[in-house]
Structures are given as structure tokens and as C-alpha cells.
Amino acid sequence: MISLGCAKNLVDAEIMLGSVLERGMEITSNADDADVLVINTCAFIDSAKEESIDAILEAHQQRGLHKGTNQRLIVSGCMSQRFAEELREQLPEVDAFIGLDQVRELGTIVERVLQEHRTPNTERRTSNADNSAFGVGCSVFDVDSDPHRQALNFVTPRPTYIPDYDTPRFRLTPPHSAFLKIAEGCNHPCSFCVIPQMRGRHRSRTPESVLTEIRALVAEGVREINLISQDTTYYGMDLWTEKAGPRQPVDSARGLTLASLLREIERIDGEFWIRLLYTHPAHWSDELIETIAGCRHVARYIDIPLQHIDEMMLRRMRRETGRAHIETLIAKLRSGIPGVALRTTFIVGFPGETETELATLLDFIERTRFERLGIFKYSREEGSRAAKMPGQIPAKVKNERHRRAMTLQQKIAYEIAADRIGSELKLLVDQPLVARTEADAPDVDPRVILSQPGPVGEFITRKIQGARGYDLLV
Ligand code: SF4
């Protein structure tokens, strides 16, 4: 299994591996030993699609080196969900495509693929011990010998699947840190984004399901649970009987909310961090801020993708939030949750972005001093509204804007790191000499480099002695 893209895709990969184990198969970390290779693709932006295609072709090439094994190749994930039909034509190397509603069924799909493959091959093997080609008329053919071969396509449109607490899952993260998908899909209409077309409408898990899974993870010794979804602050609101959208107040008196879920999580005993990732600014509430401030388990860290701050840009991006709302919200987060670290992402080079609009964004970055910040260059996604907009910005200009924004943020991030020297911080040890603070999400944020080995998977408290770029030193 090669899983590309975001943490949501990683959880899908974990569920796929769980379903394979459930069917009595084995997982191997050595691709040469595998009967089946699975590439879990990403289609977030063009470069992610290219990376996915490269991974598929590379896997195919590798198996070519071990021809005798007749390894099968299955493609899953967002790119498969969205482009399976086209990819079937373009990638005859692939044996099967599966979509997001089939992650729970990978085990049976593998059986089906191997069955289709095995019948002719087994016959040939028994008759003349040559397994390099298949008999004519079989539904799976040798990739090199049949030009008309087409992969099986299991993808169904408009995904609705959401895992449950008892969904078998083989975790791919370190034992002490887990991602937990509390919802799937997105109801927002952002004009640059095609994720809702791939992942479907927003659907939340029940609080019982989430809480049962958290209790089990904590009992296993997991110290950090990262709550993820496409739109974490919308959690529960799809289950309301009355309409719940970006212009409606978010209030637990109206139904299930992220705040009510966090209050339940708070009642769970144990030493662990809950980290909130992918919170849309439209669904924050005073109640949620107060709840987080009062929860010992919730990390003082908020991931809140904003994408831009210029009023016209936010409108053209169809972000359903304006500048005043965002600025008020940030002020409330900073004053309501003392010491909170804010992570956001911005897009530069969106169609029609003027130098003045960029300057507004850079000024906002400079004044707000986000602790963590990612800058994306706008990627023209086929099927999105923005792809058809006039004023597409040349790559050279996008690169230059990206460089300016990153240079600015680098200076801010280095200053923020230097400011922490001398403070005593609680750290979670990831590797003997590498740890993270509450302000650092796994994989995307800086690290703390330890001078003495620490206990992996446990919390320690240390005084910060120095900083090296984005990282802290102990
Ligand atoms: S909130 Fe916007 S950017 Fe995020 S997944 Fe939904 S549509 Fe895409």
C-alpha cells in the first residue's frame, strides 16, 4: 500500500488494510513479497495527480522486474474516485479501480482480482509451469500481451461511506498518535475546489461512535488523537433537523456540535491531546471557543484554513466568510484560548488576483503572525468554477507571489521559534531524539530536537534551549 495525500486519505488506507486483514490476508512491508499492490491516490491539485500517476507507473515498473510473481495493481483514493473511467483507458497497467465507498471492501475486491487472475494462470502453471501469460478470453490479461485489456472498475458515484468505531483498521501512524475521522464530505461551494465532487456531501459520525473509538485508542496508549474531516467545525450540523449552514448560528441547543462532542471527550480519563484539524472559519462559535478553553485534553492549536483575506478574493473564492468575520474570529480565538497556536493556509495566484489584493494578504500575514502557515499556488482544477474564470495568472507570477509570502512567513516563524527559548514546554516524544509541542501537528509542523534521548510515545517537560530555523532545540 502506498498512500499519498492528506490524513483523510491515510485513514482510508488504514481501513482498506483492516478489511484485507479481516479476510485473512497478510500485509507485507516488502513490495516484492506482495500479490497485490495498492496505490491510494490524491487528486487535490495537479501536482498531486502527477505524483499519483508516477506512483502507479513506478509500481507497475517494479512489478515488471518480478514478472514471475504476476503481482496485481489496484488504484484507490480521490483520483480513482473522480477519474476511474478516463484512467481505465489511459492506464491499462492497472487491474482494478476502487472508489471511496469501497474502502471497507478492499479485502473482497482483492479476492475478486486474484480469482480472475488466478484461474487461467493456475491452469497454465499446472500444465507447463509458465506463468508469464494468460489464456485468451479471460477477463484479466497479461498487461504486456493484451492491448485491449481494461481494468475492473468498482467505483460508484457520490460517496456516502463513513467509518464506525468498530471498522477494522490497521493504523499506519506511530503507536502513540492517531488520526480519527469524525466526518466525511463537504457542503461548501469554494470555487477552486473539487473535493466535494469527489468526497460527497458532509456526513458526521455519531458522538457515541467517536467517543467509543477515542476510549479504545486511549486505552491502547495513544497520546495524541487528531480529529479530522473536510470541515471539522461543521461536525454534527448535518444531523440537525433545522437548516444548518454558514449563515446560521452554531449552538448546541440546536443540535449536535463539535463543542458538545469535545465536552464529552473531556470526560474521558487519561493523558492525551485532542487536536482539531481542518476547522472552517464559517462554523466557529463563542461556545466552541469557551469549550476549548475549558478542556484540558484539547491542544492549544487550531488549524483553520482561510485561503485569502481580501474581501473580493474571498467572494470570488466563494468562501462564505468575509474579512470582518475572519478578523473578529482570530481576535476571539487569541483572547479566548490564551497561548493558542494558529495554523492556516492561503492560496496565491487565484484567477484575477491583483498586486493590491496580494498586498492585502501579505499585510494581513505580517500583522496576524500565524504560528504555522502554508501557502499554496493556485492550481486550475478541471471541473471547478475557478478553472473557467478569466484572469488566470501565469505560473511565473504565481511562483513569485508564493516566494514573497513564504519569505515573509519564514521570518515570522523564525521569530516565533526564537521567542520560545527559555520556556518550559510539554513535549510528546515521536522518536528518541525528536519531539513535538502542543503547537505542532504531526508531519506538517516543526519539531523539537532533543539532546538526550526521550521515552518514545510519552510526554515529557523540557526547557527550550535554542532554535534552529523553524525547529526548537532542547
Ligand atoms: S471547505 Fe472549500 S476548500 Fe475545503 S473541502 Fe470544502 S469546498 Fe474544498
For 62-91, the pLDDT digits (tens) are 886 665 668 999 999 999 999 999 999 999
Does residue 145 have a pLDDT over 60?
A: no
* Angle of the 395-419 helix axis to the 355-368 helix axis, nearest 10: 10
Does residue 137 have a pLDDT over 50?
A: no
C-alpha cell at 435: 519531539
Q: 330 CA to middle of ligand 1, Å?
A: 20
Task: Specify the pLDDT at position 140.
Answer: 34
Host H or E run for residue 180 = strand 177-181
Does residue 134 have a pLDDT over 50?
A: no
Task: Specify the pLDDT at position 143.
Answer: 44
Q: How far is CA 303 from CA 313, 332, 366, 399, in A?
A: 21, 15, 18, 24
Could you identify the atom of ligand 1 that is nearest to the CA of residue 307?
Answer: 3
> What does the pLDDT average to over 29-54?
92
Q: 175 CA to middle of ligand 1, Å?
A: 30
Task: Specify the pLDDT at position 264.
Answer: 98
Does residue 121 have a pLDDT over 70?
A: no
pLDDT in tens, 385-398: 999 999 999 999 99
Name the residue at shortest CA distance from atom 2 of ligand 1. Answer: 190
Other beta carbons within 10 Å of 459: 17
Could you identify the atom of ligand 1 that is nearest to the CA of residue 186?
Answer: 6
Confidence of residue 133 (pLDDT cuts 50, 70, 90): very low
**56 within 8 A of 49, measured Cβ to Cβ:** no
| Helix, strand or coil, per DSSP, at residue 77 | strand
> What does the pLDDT average to over 17-30?
96
Host H or E run for residue 427 = strand 424-431
Could you identify the atom of ligand 1 that is nearest to the CA of residue 280?
Answer: 1
Q: 318 CA to middle of ligand 1, Å?
A: 10
What percent of the chain is helix, strand and coil (3-state, nearest 5)?
40, 15, 40
Does residue 168 have a pLDDT over 90?
A: yes
CA distance 45 to 378: 9
The CB of 188 under 6 Å from ligand 1? The reply is yes
The CB of 246 under 6 Å from ligand 1? The reply is no
Name the residue at shortest CA distance from atom 1 of ligand 1. Answer: 188
Burial of 86 (0-12, 13-18, 19+ CB in 10 A): exposed
Task: Specify the pLDDT at position 32.
Answer: 87
Q: 186 CA to middle of ligand 1, Å?
A: 6
**Average pLDDT, rounded, for the chain:** 92
**285 within 8 A of 258, measured Cβ to Cβ:** no
The CB of 193 under 6 Å from ligand 1? The reply is yes
Nearest to 225 by CA among 208, 211, 204: 211
The secondary structure of residue 149, as a DSSP letter, is: -
Task: Specify the pLDDT at position 70.
Answer: 82
Q: Which of 25-39, 83-97, 362-376 has maximum average pLDDT?
A: 362-376
pLDDT in tens, 170-194: 999 999 999 999 999 999 999 999 9
Q: 32 CA to middle of ligand 1, Å?
A: 38
Q: 319 CA to middle of ligand 1, Å?
A: 8
Q: Cα-flanking dihedrals φ and ψ of residue 468, to 5°?
A: -130, 100
**156 within 8 A of 101, measured Cβ to Cβ:** yes
**261 within 8 A of 207, measured Cβ to Cβ:** yes
Could you identify the atom of ligand 1 that is nearest to the CA of residue 230?
Answer: 5
* Angle, vertex CA 208, rays to CA 203 and CA 213, nearest 5: 90
Other beta carbons within 10 Å of 111: 17
Confidence of residue 316 (pLDDT cuts 50, 70, 90): very high
Task: Specify the pLDDT at position 376.
Answer: 96
Residues 162-168: contacts with CB under 8 Å, at least 24 apart: 162/203, 162/204, 162/205, 163/11, 163/15, 163/104, 163/205, 164/205, 164/209, 165/208, 165/209, 165/210, 165/212, 165/213, 165/216, 166/212, 167/15, 167/18, 167/104, 168/15, 168/18, 168/19, 168/21, 168/22
CA distance 138 to 464: 64
Other beta carbons within 10 Å of 431: 13
Largest separation between any pair of C-alpha atoms in the chain: 76
Residue written as cell 476571539? 332
Other beta carbons within 10 Å of 271: 11
C-alpha cell at 220: 491502547
Q: 280 CA to middle of ligand 1, Å?
A: 8
Could you identify the atom of ligand 1 that is nearest to the CA of residue 278?
Answer: 4
Does residue 287 have a pLDDT over 60?
A: yes
> What does the pLDDT average to over 150-167?
94
CA distance 62 to 36: 12
Does residue 223 have a pLDDT over 60?
A: yes
User: What is the C-alpha end-to-end distance of the chain, expressed in Å?
Assistant: 36
Half-sphere exposure in the Cβ direction for 166 (13 Å, CA): 1
Half-sphere exposure in the Cβ direction for 179 (13 Å, CA): 25
Please report, rounded to a whole number, the percentage of residues in the chain having pLDDT higher than 90. 84
Task: Specify the pLDDT at position 68.
Answer: 63
State the pairing for strand pair 459-463/424-431.
antiparallel
> What does the pLDDT average to over 432-452?
97
The CB of 196 under 6 Å from ligand 1? The reply is yes
The secondary structure of residue 381, as a DSSP letter, is: -
β-partners of residue 287 are: none
Could you identify the atom of ligand 1 that is nearest to the CA of residue 319?
Answer: 2
pLDDT in tens, 232-257: 999 999 999 887 888 778 889 899 99
Q: 195 CA to middle of ligand 1, Å?
A: 6
Lowest mean pLDDT among 4-8, 116-120, 334-338, 394-398: 116-120
Please report, rounded to a whole number, the percentage of residues in the chain having pLDDT higher than 70. 92
CA distance 3 to 389: 32
Lowest mean pLDDT among 23-32, 311-320, 364-373: 23-32
Select the more confidently predicted residue: 142 or 448: 448
Q: 3 CA to middle of ligand 1, Å?
A: 21
Q: Cα-flanking dihedrals φ and ψ of residue 134, to 5°?
A: -110, 160
**328 within 8 A of 355, measured Cβ to Cβ:** no
State the pairing for strand pair 434-437/448-449.
antiparallel
Does residue 270 have a pLDDT over 60?
A: yes
**Domains along the sequence of the chain with CATH:** 2-153 (3.40.50.12160), 177-419 (3.80.30.20), 424-473 (2.40.50.140)
Confidence of residue 127 (pLDDT cuts 50, 70, 90): very low
CA 357 to chain centre: 29
Pocket test for ligand 1, best of 187, 193, 315 (most atoms within 8 A of CB): 193
The CB of 302 under 6 Å from ligand 1? The reply is no
Name the residue at shortest CA distance from atom 8 of ligand 1. Answer: 193
CA distance 458 to 288: 28
CA distance 380 to 382: 6
Residue written as cell 499519498? 4
* Angle, vertex CA 279, rays to CA 273 and CA 282, nearest 5: 145
Does residue 158 have a pLDDT over 50?
A: yes
CA distance 101 to 161: 5
